[in-house]
Every structure is written in structure tokens, then in C-alpha cells.
């Protein structure tokens, strides 16, 4: 009887999972909160705690210190960190192509890549949309010498654009764009960088090599729950937005958060034969090629160093 009670208790034990975002709350995280609200984590015996972050380096630092089990962050920053020797891996890649766009004013539009010539564009160090502008120019036959990048701090980019001090600025469809359009009341001209060949790996789940070794089954259940949350969000993005807003003090209006959620889901590919979050080795190789254009990374590590698909749910 005692042995039966012990085994039953172990079977129903709830495993804690600490999840840290690399940034503040935004619509990209809606599916994670819907999974919590609908009891998907609980159904897999998981107690998931989620928290905001203050940048990828801080989130990865907490992961290495054992404070977190998973960090939700742009994969390009994880690739850079791993190349520099950080013992972490990408365990799921939801946005193989970051939904980052260039926006411009309707009266001075950048509607096609060639329209960038003769224009000024806001840039800050480490900023996703313009750090790899040289690659974007090469892919699209743009004379980059005719594009003026105006360097400024990250907080000044959008205000300078709204004041028409620069012609274009890069923003995320999944966070900035819906907020800006609602705030200003303007439908900006949008140039989708991913659709024009700039494949920057984005939204991803990252864990440490130590956690992967010690808690693989817990991570498997967590990633399976996330995929169920994504499926539920595709069916009802309004519910995902509402679930997120319960945890988001001072959130934008419901329709803005819902637009962020929908843009996030639109950028998550789903195809036959692979689970959502599947990582293609080509995406990692392309990320390394991008990093070479913006920083000295030395000899790239073997591609298998950067990721594992072993923890994703089987189909």
C-alpha cells in the first residue's frame, strides 16, 4: 500500500518550469498565456512561471545561473552567444524568418527594396532590422552607398521617424507596428524584409545544456504544451490576447494586442511531417552567415552545436 501511494504521488508530481522572456510583455507571448489559462501546462503536470526580461544577455545569464529553465528570445542572439562559447541550445524555432519590416511615411514611401536608394534610415547598435542591411542590399540589387544609415540610440529611432527626421525605421509586425499605427492613426508603407530575402531567425525557445541533460522529459512536456497553445491561439487569437492582457498591466487596447498575436501566428510556419518549432540546420547556417557581416565571429562552430530537435513532440 505504501509503495502504491509513493508511486501514485510521483506520477502526479508537478514539475516547475521557469520561463524568462528576453523582453517586456508583447503579443508574441499570447499563446504561452493561453496555454496557461486553458490548463494545458497543468494537464502535463507542469507549473509554469513566466516573467518579463530586460534583454537577451540578461535572460541568458539567468539561464546559466540556474534561475531559469527556458528563455524565449530571438534565435539570432542565441546563435551569437553559442558561437562565443555559451553552453546553451535552441530547442525550438517558431519564427525561422523574423517578421521585421521597414516602415515609411505614405508621402515618401519605401514600398520596394530599390526605393531605399536616396533615403535615410534610422539605425542603432544591435538593432535587428538594419544590422544586416548590407546583406539585404546585396540580395535585392540595392546600391547601399545610396542609403544613409543614421546612427542613434534605440529609444530615439521611432520618435525621429515620426518627426520625419529619417525616412524609414525598422519595427516588428508582432509588437511595434500595431501599436504605432493605432497611436498615430496612420497606415504606414510597409516593406517586409523577410519576404525580400532577409531570413533572420527570430522567436525561439532556448535552454542550457545543463537543463537539457538533467530535465529532458520536463522540457519535452513543456514544448508539447507550447505547441498546443499555438494550435489553440490559431483557432482563437482573441482569447490569447485576453489571456495575455490579464498579466499585462498597462497593455495596449485589446484590438492592438490581438493584432500582435495574429502577426505572431502568421509568422509561425506549419508544414507536414515536422512539428511546430522544428529547426532546419540551414536556418542556423544562414544565421551564422548574417553574423559574419556584422561582427567578427571567427570560425563557425559545427551547426549541430547550436540546436536540438530531440525535445520537440513527435507527430
Q: Which of 224, 222, 257, 225 is nearest to 238 (CA)?
A: 257
Give the range among 82-91, 104-113, 148-157, 291-300 with minimum mean pLDDT.
Answer: 291-300
Domain 11-97+201-305: CATH superfamily, name plus number: Periplasmic binding protein-like II (3.40.190.10)
Quick: pLDDT tens for 179-214: 999 989 989 999 999 899 888 999 999 999 999 999
Please, how many CA atoms are within 13 Å of residue 218, restricted to the half-sphere of its CB?
18
Check: CB of residue 240 under 8 Å from CB of residue 33.
Answer: yes
Q: Is the pLDDT of residue 47 over 70?
A: yes
pTM assigned to the model: 0.89
How many residues would you count in the chain? 315
End-to-end CA separation in angstroms for the chain? 38
**Cβ–Cβ under 8 Å, residues 174 and 99:** yes
Q: Where are the domains of the chain?
A: 11-97+201-305, 100-196
DSSP 271: -
CA distance 292 to 13: 46
pLDDT band at 3 (very low <50, low <70, confident <90, very high): low
Give the bridge partners for 71, in sequence order. Answer: 20, 206
d(CA 67, CA 65): 6
DSSP of 183-219: HH----EEEETGGGT-----EEEEEEHHHHHH-HHHH
Which superfamily is assigned to 100-196 in CATH? Periplasmic binding protein-like II (3.40.190.10)
Share of the chain above pLDDT 70, in %: 96
pLDDT at site 294: 67
Please report, to the nearest 10 degrees, the dihedral formed by the alpha carbons of residues 24, 216, 267, 30 taken in order: -40
Contact residues for 144 (Cβ-Cβ < 8 A; gap 6+) = 133, 134, 137, 138
Taking the C-alpha atoms of residue 226 and residue 46, their distance in angstroms, rounded to an integer, is: 12
Confidence of residue 1 (pLDDT cuts 50, 70, 90): low
Say whether 251 sits in a helix, a strand or coil. coil
The predicted pLDDT at position 2 comes to: 53
Decide if 295 contacts 81 (C-beta within 8 A).
no
Please say if the pLDDT value at position 8 is more than 70: no
State percent of the chain over pLDDT 90.
78
Give the integer Cα–Cα distance in Å for 244 and 240: 6
Residue 105 has pLDDT above 80, yes or no: yes
The pLDDT score that the predictor gives to residue 37 is 98
Q: % helix / strand / coil in the chain, to the nearest 5?
A: 50, 15, 35
Q: What angle do CA 61, 49, 22 make, to 5 degrees?
A: 40
Amino acid at each position: 500500500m505504501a509503495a502504491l501511494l509513493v508511486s501514485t504521488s510521483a506520477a502526479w508530481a508537478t514539475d516547475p518550469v521557469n520561463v524568462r522572456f528576453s523582453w517586456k510583455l508583447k503579443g508574441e507571448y499570447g499563446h504561452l498565456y493561453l496555454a496557461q489559462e486553458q490548463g494545458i501546462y497543468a494537464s502535463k503536470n507542469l507549473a509554469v512561471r513566466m516573467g518579463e526580461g530586460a534583454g537577451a544577455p540578461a535572460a541568458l545569464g539567468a539561464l546559466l545561473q540556474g534561475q531559469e529553465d527556458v528563455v524565449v528570445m530571438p534565435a539570432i542572439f542565441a546563435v551569437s552567444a553559442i558561437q562565443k562559447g555559451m553552453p546553451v541550445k535552441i530547442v525550438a524555432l517558431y519564427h525561422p524568418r523574423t517578421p521585421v519590416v521597414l516602415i515609411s511615411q505614405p508621402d515618401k514611401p519605401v514600398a520596394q527594396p530599390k526605393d531605399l536608394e536616396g533615403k535615410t534610415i534610422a539605425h542603432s547598435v544591435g538593432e535587428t532590422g538594419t544590422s544586416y542591411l548590407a546583406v539585404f542590399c546585396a540580395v535585392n540589387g540595392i546600391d547601399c552607398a545610396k542609403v544613409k544609415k543614421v546612427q542613434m540610440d534605440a529609444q530615439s529611432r521611432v520618435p525621429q521617424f515620426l518627426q520625419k527626421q529619417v525616412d524609414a525605421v525598422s519595427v516588428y509586425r508582432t509588437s511595434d507596428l500595431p501599436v504605432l499605427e493605432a497611436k498615430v492613426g496612420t497606415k504606414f508603407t510597409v516593406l517586409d524584409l523577410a519576404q525580400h530575402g532577409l531570413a533572420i531567425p527570430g522567436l525561439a525557445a532556448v535552454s542550457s545544456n545543463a537543463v537539457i541533460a538533467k530535465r529532458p522529459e520536463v522540457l519535452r512536456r513543456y514544448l508539447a504544451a507550447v505547441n498546443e497553445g499555438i494550435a489553440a491561439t490559431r483557432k482563437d487569437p482573441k482569447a490569447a490576447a485576453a489571456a495575455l492582457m490579464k498579466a499585462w498591466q498597462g497593455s495596449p487596447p485589446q484590438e492592438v494586442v490581438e493584432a500582435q498575436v495574429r502577426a505572431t501566428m502568421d509568422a509561425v510556419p506549419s508544414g507536414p511531417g515536422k512539428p511546430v518549432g522544428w529547426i532546419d540546420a540551414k536556418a542556423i547556417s544562414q544565421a551564422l552567415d548574417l553574423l559574419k557581416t556584422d561582427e567578427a565571429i571567427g570560425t563557425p562552430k559545427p551547426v549541430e552545436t547550436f540546436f536540438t530537435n530531440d525535445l520537440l513532440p513527435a507527430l
